[in-house]
Structure 1
Amino acid sequence: MAPSRKELQNAAEEFCRGFASKKSVDEFLEYFSTTYEVSAIEYGEPVLAPFLGKQFVGKAGLKEYFELIGSLLSYDNVAFSEYVVDCEALKVSVKGKAKFTWISSKQSWNETFTYTLDFDEEMKVVRYQVWADSGAAYLARRGELI
Protein backbone atom coordinates (compact mmCIF):
# COMPACT_ATOMS: atom_id res chain seq x y z
CA MET A 1 0.00 0.00 0.00
CA ALA A 2 1.27 3.45 -0.90
CA PRO A 3 2.18 5.84 1.92
CA SER A 4 -0.35 8.51 2.84
CA ARG A 5 0.17 12.21 2.25
CA LYS A 6 0.75 12.68 5.98
CA GLU A 7 3.35 9.87 6.10
CA LEU A 8 5.26 11.37 3.18
CA GLN A 9 5.17 14.85 4.66
CA ASN A 10 6.30 13.52 8.05
CA ALA A 11 9.24 11.73 6.41
CA ALA A 12 10.21 14.93 4.56
CA GLU A 13 9.89 17.01 7.74
CA GLU A 14 12.11 14.54 9.60
CA PHE A 15 14.72 14.73 6.80
CA CYS A 16 14.64 18.55 6.93
CA ARG A 17 14.95 18.56 10.74
CA GLY A 18 17.99 16.32 10.37
CA PHE A 19 19.59 18.84 8.02
CA ALA A 20 18.67 21.81 10.20
CA SER A 21 20.04 20.13 13.34
CA LYS A 22 23.37 19.48 11.57
CA LYS A 23 23.40 15.74 12.06
CA SER A 24 26.69 14.06 11.22
CA VAL A 25 27.05 12.74 7.68
CA ASP A 26 26.70 9.15 8.86
CA GLU A 27 23.56 9.99 10.86
CA PHE A 28 22.11 11.93 7.92
CA LEU A 29 22.73 9.02 5.54
CA GLU A 30 20.28 6.98 7.62
CA TYR A 31 17.45 8.94 5.95
CA PHE A 32 18.37 7.34 2.61
CA SER A 33 17.14 4.08 1.11
CA THR A 34 19.06 0.86 1.44
CA THR A 35 16.69 -0.86 -1.00
CA TYR A 36 17.33 1.31 -4.09
CA GLU A 37 20.32 3.09 -5.57
CA VAL A 38 20.37 6.57 -4.04
CA SER A 39 21.54 9.83 -5.56
CA ALA A 40 21.96 13.52 -4.86
CA ILE A 41 22.35 16.43 -7.22
CA GLU A 42 22.54 20.16 -6.61
CA TYR A 43 21.75 21.92 -9.85
CA GLY A 44 24.05 24.59 -11.20
CA GLU A 45 27.18 25.09 -13.25
CA PRO A 46 30.12 23.06 -11.89
CA VAL A 47 32.48 25.99 -12.51
CA LEU A 48 30.64 27.94 -9.78
CA ALA A 49 31.20 25.42 -6.98
CA PRO A 50 32.63 21.89 -6.87
CA PHE A 51 29.39 20.32 -5.62
CA LEU A 52 27.18 21.72 -8.40
CA GLY A 53 25.92 19.95 -11.48
CA LYS A 54 27.31 16.54 -10.57
CA GLN A 55 25.19 13.55 -9.70
CA PHE A 56 26.50 11.79 -6.60
CA VAL A 57 25.39 8.14 -6.73
CA GLY A 58 25.25 5.43 -4.08
CA LYS A 59 25.97 5.73 -0.37
CA ALA A 60 29.63 6.50 -1.13
CA GLY A 61 28.55 9.26 -3.51
CA LEU A 62 26.18 10.74 -0.94
CA LYS A 63 28.90 10.63 1.69
CA GLU A 64 31.26 12.43 -0.72
CA TYR A 65 28.60 15.10 -1.45
CA PHE A 66 27.74 15.83 2.18
CA GLU A 67 31.38 15.82 3.29
CA LEU A 68 32.27 18.19 0.42
CA ILE A 69 29.43 20.54 1.37
CA GLY A 70 30.49 20.40 5.02
CA SER A 71 34.10 21.22 4.16
CA LEU A 72 33.09 24.31 2.17
CA LEU A 73 29.92 25.70 3.76
CA SER A 74 28.43 26.27 7.17
CA TYR A 75 24.81 27.23 7.78
CA ASP A 76 22.51 28.62 10.45
CA ASN A 77 18.92 29.75 10.96
CA VAL A 78 17.43 27.00 8.82
CA ALA A 79 13.66 26.93 8.32
CA PHE A 80 11.48 24.86 6.00
CA SER A 81 7.95 25.55 4.76
CA GLU A 82 5.50 24.97 1.91
CA TYR A 83 5.69 21.20 1.63
CA VAL A 84 4.15 19.93 -1.62
CA VAL A 85 3.37 16.21 -1.50
CA ASP A 86 2.72 13.90 -4.46
CA CYS A 87 1.55 10.53 -3.11
CA GLU A 88 1.46 8.82 -6.50
CA ALA A 89 5.06 9.76 -7.37
CA LEU A 90 6.27 9.41 -3.74
CA LYS A 91 7.80 12.91 -3.95
CA VAL A 92 7.89 15.91 -1.66
CA SER A 93 9.14 19.35 -2.59
CA VAL A 94 9.88 21.89 0.11
CA LYS A 95 11.14 25.44 0.40
CA GLY A 96 14.00 26.15 2.76
CA LYS A 97 15.70 29.29 4.02
CA ALA A 98 19.05 29.59 5.76
CA LYS A 99 22.11 31.73 6.25
CA PHE A 100 25.10 30.10 4.51
CA THR A 101 28.77 30.95 4.95
CA TRP A 102 31.60 29.97 2.62
CA ILE A 103 34.08 28.81 5.25
CA SER A 104 37.37 29.88 3.62
CA SER A 105 36.23 33.42 2.74
CA LYS A 106 33.94 33.84 5.77
CA GLN A 107 31.39 35.51 3.47
CA SER A 108 27.72 34.85 4.26
CA TRP A 109 24.41 35.21 2.47
CA ASN A 110 20.77 34.52 3.19
CA GLU A 111 19.29 32.07 0.75
CA THR A 112 16.00 30.52 -0.25
CA PHE A 113 16.36 27.06 -1.75
CA THR A 114 14.23 24.05 -2.61
CA TYR A 115 14.54 20.32 -2.15
CA THR A 116 12.70 17.64 -4.06
CA LEU A 117 12.83 14.31 -2.26
CA ASP A 118 11.86 11.03 -3.92
CA PHE A 119 10.96 8.33 -1.40
CA ASP A 120 10.76 4.56 -1.47
CA GLU A 121 7.92 2.56 0.09
CA GLU A 122 9.77 2.53 3.44
CA MET A 123 9.80 6.35 3.59
CA LYS A 124 13.52 6.56 2.87
CA VAL A 125 14.97 9.06 0.38
CA VAL A 126 16.03 7.63 -2.97
CA ARG A 127 16.75 10.84 -4.88
CA TYR A 128 17.73 14.19 -3.32
CA GLN A 129 17.60 17.24 -5.59
CA VAL A 130 18.57 20.78 -4.59
CA TRP A 131 18.02 24.11 -6.31
CA ALA A 132 19.86 26.96 -4.61
CA ASP A 133 21.55 30.33 -5.22
CA SER A 134 24.69 29.13 -6.95
CA GLY A 135 25.64 32.70 -7.91
CA ALA A 136 25.86 33.79 -4.28
CA ALA A 137 27.90 30.68 -3.44
CA TYR A 138 30.29 31.45 -6.29
CA LEU A 139 30.78 35.07 -5.23
CA ALA A 140 31.24 34.09 -1.58
CA ARG A 141 33.75 31.44 -2.61
CA ARG A 142 35.76 34.11 -4.43
CA GLY A 143 35.40 36.60 -1.58
CA GLU A 144 33.42 38.93 -3.86
CA LEU A 145 30.00 38.85 -2.22
CA ILE A 146 28.90 42.36 -1.44
Structure 2
Amino acid sequence: MSLDQELRASGQAFFDAFAANTPPIKMLHHFSTSSPAVLQHTPLDCPHPFTSKLSGSNALRSYFDLLATNWTRSNAHIRDELEVDASNRRVVIPASVTWTWKRSGRHWREDFTWTLDFDDTLKISSFVIRTMSGPGTCVMRAVDIDPVATDKKMFAQAAL
Protein backbone atom coordinates (compact mmCIF):
# COMPACT_ATOMS: atom_id res chain seq x y z
CA MET A 1 0.00 0.00 0.00
CA SER A 2 1.39 3.45 -0.91
CA LEU A 3 1.84 6.17 1.71
CA ASP A 4 -0.98 8.11 0.05
CA GLN A 5 -3.32 5.13 0.51
CA GLU A 6 -2.17 4.54 4.10
CA LEU A 7 -2.76 8.19 5.03
CA ARG A 8 -6.19 8.14 3.37
CA ALA A 9 -7.11 4.93 5.23
CA SER A 10 -5.88 6.35 8.56
CA GLY A 11 -7.83 9.58 8.09
CA GLN A 12 -10.95 7.66 7.08
CA ALA A 13 -10.61 5.30 10.07
CA PHE A 14 -10.39 8.26 12.47
CA PHE A 15 -13.43 9.91 10.90
CA ASP A 16 -15.37 6.64 11.05
CA ALA A 17 -14.58 6.36 14.77
CA PHE A 18 -15.78 9.94 15.30
CA ALA A 19 -18.98 9.30 13.31
CA ALA A 20 -19.67 6.14 15.33
CA ASN A 21 -19.51 8.06 18.66
CA THR A 22 -16.53 5.96 19.72
CA PRO A 23 -15.81 6.44 23.46
CA PRO A 24 -13.18 9.12 24.26
CA ILE A 25 -10.56 6.68 25.55
CA LYS A 26 -10.70 4.75 22.28
CA MET A 27 -10.41 7.93 20.20
CA LEU A 28 -6.98 8.42 21.78
CA HIS A 29 -5.72 5.25 20.06
CA HIS A 30 -5.56 7.25 16.82
CA PHE A 31 -3.06 9.76 18.26
CA SER A 32 0.72 9.76 18.43
CA THR A 33 2.40 8.73 21.65
CA SER A 34 5.92 9.53 20.44
CA SER A 35 5.36 13.29 20.86
CA PRO A 36 2.56 15.39 22.37
CA ALA A 37 -0.25 15.63 19.83
CA VAL A 38 -1.72 19.08 19.18
CA LEU A 39 -5.44 19.88 19.01
CA GLN A 40 -7.11 23.09 17.89
CA HIS A 41 -10.86 23.66 17.28
CA THR A 42 -11.98 27.15 16.25
CA PRO A 43 -14.53 28.90 14.04
CA LEU A 44 -13.26 30.08 10.66
CA ASP A 45 -13.62 33.74 11.67
CA CYS A 46 -11.60 33.37 14.89
CA PRO A 47 -9.04 36.22 14.80
CA HIS A 48 -6.53 34.35 16.99
CA PRO A 49 -6.97 30.60 16.39
CA PHE A 50 -3.64 29.69 17.96
CA THR A 51 -4.85 30.84 21.38
CA SER A 52 -7.06 27.75 21.52
CA LYS A 53 -4.29 25.26 20.82
CA LEU A 54 -4.10 22.33 23.25
CA SER A 55 -1.42 19.65 23.43
CA GLY A 56 -0.79 16.33 25.06
CA SER A 57 -2.84 13.25 25.85
CA ASN A 58 -4.63 14.88 28.81
CA ALA A 59 -5.84 17.73 26.59
CA LEU A 60 -7.00 15.29 23.92
CA ARG A 61 -8.84 13.19 26.49
CA SER A 62 -10.48 16.29 27.97
CA TYR A 63 -11.62 17.43 24.52
CA PHE A 64 -13.25 14.10 23.68
CA ASP A 65 -14.70 13.81 27.22
CA LEU A 66 -16.23 17.29 26.84
CA LEU A 67 -17.86 16.28 23.57
CA ALA A 68 -19.17 12.98 24.97
CA THR A 69 -20.48 14.58 28.17
CA ASN A 70 -22.51 17.36 26.57
CA TRP A 71 -23.51 16.23 23.07
CA THR A 72 -24.32 13.31 20.88
CA ARG A 73 -23.19 13.23 17.27
CA SER A 74 -25.32 12.12 14.36
CA ASN A 75 -25.33 12.40 10.58
CA ALA A 76 -21.55 12.78 10.51
CA HIS A 77 -20.48 12.60 6.89
CA ILE A 78 -17.63 13.66 4.65
CA ARG A 79 -18.80 16.43 2.31
CA ASP A 80 -16.12 16.13 -0.34
CA GLU A 81 -13.09 14.07 -1.33
CA LEU A 82 -10.31 13.70 1.24
CA GLU A 83 -7.19 15.64 0.25
CA VAL A 84 -3.95 13.77 0.85
CA ASP A 85 -0.54 15.42 0.90
CA ALA A 86 1.87 12.51 1.35
CA SER A 87 4.98 14.71 1.38
CA ASN A 88 3.69 16.50 4.51
CA ARG A 89 1.91 13.41 5.90
CA ARG A 90 -1.33 15.40 5.93
CA VAL A 91 -4.99 14.58 5.27
CA VAL A 92 -7.70 17.24 4.96
CA ILE A 93 -11.29 16.13 5.52
CA PRO A 94 -14.25 18.44 4.81
CA ALA A 95 -17.21 17.12 6.79
CA SER A 96 -20.42 17.89 8.67
CA VAL A 97 -22.03 16.63 11.86
CA THR A 98 -25.25 17.25 13.74
CA TRP A 99 -24.67 17.97 17.43
CA THR A 100 -27.49 17.40 19.94
CA TRP A 101 -27.38 18.73 23.48
CA LYS A 102 -27.89 15.84 25.89
CA ARG A 103 -29.67 18.10 28.37
CA SER A 104 -32.19 19.90 26.17
CA GLY A 105 -32.27 17.90 22.95
CA ARG A 106 -31.67 21.04 20.86
CA HIS A 107 -29.45 20.42 17.86
CA TRP A 108 -27.56 22.13 15.05
CA ARG A 109 -25.23 21.28 12.20
CA GLU A 110 -21.54 22.11 12.15
CA ASP A 111 -19.65 22.09 8.84
CA PHE A 112 -15.93 21.80 9.42
CA THR A 113 -12.61 20.98 7.88
CA TRP A 114 -10.21 18.68 9.66
CA THR A 115 -6.50 18.92 8.98
CA LEU A 116 -4.75 15.82 10.27
CA ASP A 117 -0.96 15.52 10.38
CA PHE A 118 0.45 12.05 10.92
CA ASP A 119 3.71 10.80 12.40
CA ASP A 120 5.86 7.99 10.98
CA THR A 121 3.60 5.34 12.55
CA LEU A 122 0.45 6.83 10.94
CA LYS A 123 -0.79 8.22 14.24
CA ILE A 124 -2.21 11.75 14.43
CA SER A 125 0.30 14.33 15.65
CA SER A 126 -1.83 17.41 14.89
CA PHE A 127 -5.63 17.69 14.73
CA VAL A 128 -6.91 21.09 13.58
CA ILE A 129 -10.65 21.64 13.24
CA ARG A 130 -11.94 24.79 11.54
CA THR A 131 -15.68 25.39 11.64
CA MET A 132 -16.74 26.54 8.19
CA SER A 133 -20.46 27.04 8.87
CA GLY A 134 -21.95 30.25 10.20
CA PRO A 135 -21.44 32.01 13.52
CA GLY A 136 -22.60 30.06 16.52
CA THR A 137 -22.15 26.62 14.95
CA CYS A 138 -18.72 25.78 16.38
CA VAL A 139 -19.29 23.17 19.09
CA MET A 140 -16.50 24.72 21.17
CA ARG A 141 -18.55 27.92 21.43
CA ALA A 142 -21.96 26.26 21.83
CA VAL A 143 -24.42 27.61 24.39
CA ASP A 144 -27.60 25.72 25.26
CA ILE A 145 -30.11 28.56 25.24
CA ASP A 146 -33.79 28.23 24.45
CA PRO A 147 -34.29 30.87 21.71
CA VAL A 148 -38.03 31.24 22.51
CA ALA A 149 -37.40 31.82 26.22
CA THR A 150 -34.61 34.26 25.37
CA ASP A 151 -36.90 36.22 23.03
CA LYS A 152 -39.64 36.35 25.70
CA LYS A 153 -37.16 37.55 28.33
CA MET A 154 -35.80 40.24 26.02
CA PHE A 155 -39.36 41.33 25.15
CA ALA A 156 -40.29 41.51 28.85
CA GLN A 157 -37.19 43.57 29.65
CA ALA A 158 -37.91 45.93 26.75
CA ALA A 159 -41.45 46.46 28.04
CA LEU A 160 -40.13 47.75 31.40
- TM-score, normalized by length of structure 1? 0.83
1:50-61 aligned at under 5 Å gives the runs 54-61=52-59
Unaligned runs of 5+ in 1: 46-52
Question: What residue identity is the alignment partner of 1:135?
Answer: G
Structure number with higher helix proportion:
2
8 Å CA contact 2:90–2:117 kept in 1: the answer is yes
1:35-114 aligned at under 5 Å gives the runs 35-44=34-43, 54-80=52-78, 81-114=80-113
Pick the structure with greater CA Rg: 2
Distance 2:35 2:123 in 1: 9
Question: What residue identity is the alignment partner of 2:72?
Answer: S
* Number of residue pairs matched by the alignment: 136
SS, match of residue 142 in structure 1:
coil
Structure 1 range deviating more: 20-29 or 130-139: 130-139
SS, match of residue 122 in structure 1:
coil
> How big is the alpha-carbon RMSD for the aligned residues of Structure 1 and Structure 2?
2.1
In structure 2, the residue matched to 1:18 is: 17
In structure 1, the residue matched to 2:29 is: 30
Structure 1 range deviating more: 3-12 or 86-95: 3-12
Question: What residue identity is the alignment partner of 2:19?
Answer: A
1:68 is displaced (CA, Å) by: 1.1
In structure 2, the residue matched to 1:49 is: none
Structure 1 range deviating more: 132-141 or 6-15: 132-141
| Deviating 4+ runs (over 4 angstroms) | 137-140
1:23 is displaced (CA, Å) by: 1.0
In structure 2, the residue matched to 1:142 is: 145
Does the C-alpha gap of structure 1 residues 5 and 139 become closer, same or farther in structure 2, counting only changes over 3 Å? closer
Question: What residue identity is the alignment partner of 1:35?
Answer: S
1:144 is displaced (CA, Å) by: 2.8
1:119-134 aligned at under 5 Å gives the runs 119-132=118-131, 133=133
Structure number with higher strand proportion:
1
Question: What residue identity is the alignment partner of 1:10?
Answer: A
SS, match of residue 61 in structure 1:
helix
1:140 is displaced (CA, Å) by: 5.3
CA deviation string 1:56-81 (max 9, x = no partner): 21001100111112222211111124
Question: What residue identity is the alignment partner of 1:144?
Answer: P
